[in-house]
Structure 1
Amino acid sequence: MPIIKMSVWINVPVEECFDLARNIGLHPFTVPQTKEKPIAGRREGLIEAGEMVTWRARHLGVTQTLTSLIQSMNRPYQFVDVMVKGAFRSFTHVHLFEQKGEGTKMIDILQFESPFGHIGKLADKLFLERYMRKFLTIRAVNLKRIGESLKP
C-alpha cells in the first residue's frame, strides 16, 4: 500500500492555508490538468467535518468519479478525507498544517490501495504512485501560488 508524504512552505497564516486547502471552489484551479468538477455533495465553499463531495475528473485518460468524506477535522491544523466511493480499494488523504513564523508548512500524507490485487500493486509501482505524487505536487504548488498572490 503506497504512502506518499510531502510538504510545501506557504507564506500565509495557518488559518488561511487551512481554508485554501478545503475550499471546494478553489480546488479545480489547483489541479487544472484533471478538469476536476464537484458534481454532488458540497459543491462550493469550505467543506466541513462530516460532509461529502463527489468529484468528476480525468485521470490517466479516463473520466472518473470519486466521493470523499471529511472524516475528521481539527481546525486549523488537520483534516482527513477518505474515499467512500471510487476507483481505489482505499484512499485516505491527511492534510496537516503547521504554523511556522508568519507562514505555514502544509503536509500531505496520502495512503491508497489499488483494486485488482497483485495487478493493482504492480500498477502502483509502475506508474500510479508516481502519478499521485505529481498530482499532489501540482496541487501544492498551485495552492502556494494562489495563497501567496492573495496576500497584500
Structure 2
Amino acid sequence: MPTIRLKTTINAPQERVFNLSRSLDLHIASAAKTKEKVISVKQTGLLELNEEVTWRAKHLGVYQNLTSKITQFNFPHSFTDEMQKGAFKSFSHQHLFEKISEEKTQLIDVFEYESPMGILGKLADKLFLKSYMKRFLLERNQVIKTTAESENYKKYIST
C-alpha cells in the first residue's frame, strides 16, 4: 500500500491550521485546478467527526466522485478522513498538527491508499499516481500555509 508522508511548517497557531485543514471552503479554493466542488448535503464550513462529504473533481482528465468521512477527530491535534466511495480501492488520510510554538505549527500528512485493478493499479502507482497525489497534497498544503500566515484565514474560519 503506497504511503505519502509530508511535513509543512506553518507560521500560525495550531488551532488555526487545524481548522483551515478541515474547511470545505478552503479545500475548494486549494483544488481549483481540478475543478473540485462539493456535491453532498454539507457544502460549506468545517468538517466534524463522522461527517461525510462527496467531492466531484477532474483528475487525470476524468471527472470522478469521491466520498470521504471524518473517522477520527482530536481537536487540535489530529483528524483522519477515509474514503467511503470512489476511484481508489481504499484510502486513509491522517492530518497531524504538532505545536512548535504559539505561532508555529508542523502539519504532517500521512496518506495511505490502495489502487484498484490489482497489478495494473500497482503499475499506475509507480508510473504516475503516487507522484500525482503527492503534488496534489503539496499544492493543498501550500494554500493552507499561505492562508494561515495571512489575514485571509478569516474568510474561512471565525477564530
- Interval containing the TM-score (normalised by the shorter chain): over 0.9
Structure 1: 4+ residue segments shifted above 4 A? none
What amino acid maps onto 1:98 in structure 2? E
Partner Cα separation in structure 2 for residue 141 and residue 63 of structure 1: 24
2:117 maps to 116
1:96 maps to 96
1:41 Cα offset (Å) = 3.6
1:42 Cα offset (Å) = 2.4
Identify which range, 22-31 or 104-113, moves more after superposition: 22-31
1:76 Cα offset (Å) = 0.4
Matches within 5 A, 1:30-45: 30-45=30-45
Q: Secondary structure at the match of 1:97?
A: strand
What amino acid maps onto 1:117 in structure 2? G
1:138 equivalent to 2:139? Answer yes
Q: What fraction of aligned residue pairs are identical, expressed as a percent?
A: 50
Q: 1:92 to 1:138 in 2, by over 3 A?
A: same
Structure 1: gaps spanning 5 or more residues: none
Q: Secondary structure at the match of 2:25?
A: coil
Q: Secondary structure at the match of 2:131?
A: helix
Provide TM-score, normalisation by structure 1. Answer: 0.97
Provide TM-score, normalisation by structure 2. Answer: 0.93
Structure 2: gaps spanning 5 or more residues: 155-159
RMSD of aligned alpha carbons: 1.2
Does the aligned pair in 2 maintain the 1:82–1:91 contact within 8 Å? Answer: yes
1:47 maps to 47
Partner Cα separation in structure 2 for residue 3 and residue 25 of structure 1: 26
Partner Cα separation in structure 1 for residue 41 and residue 112 of structure 2: 23
1:125 maps to 126
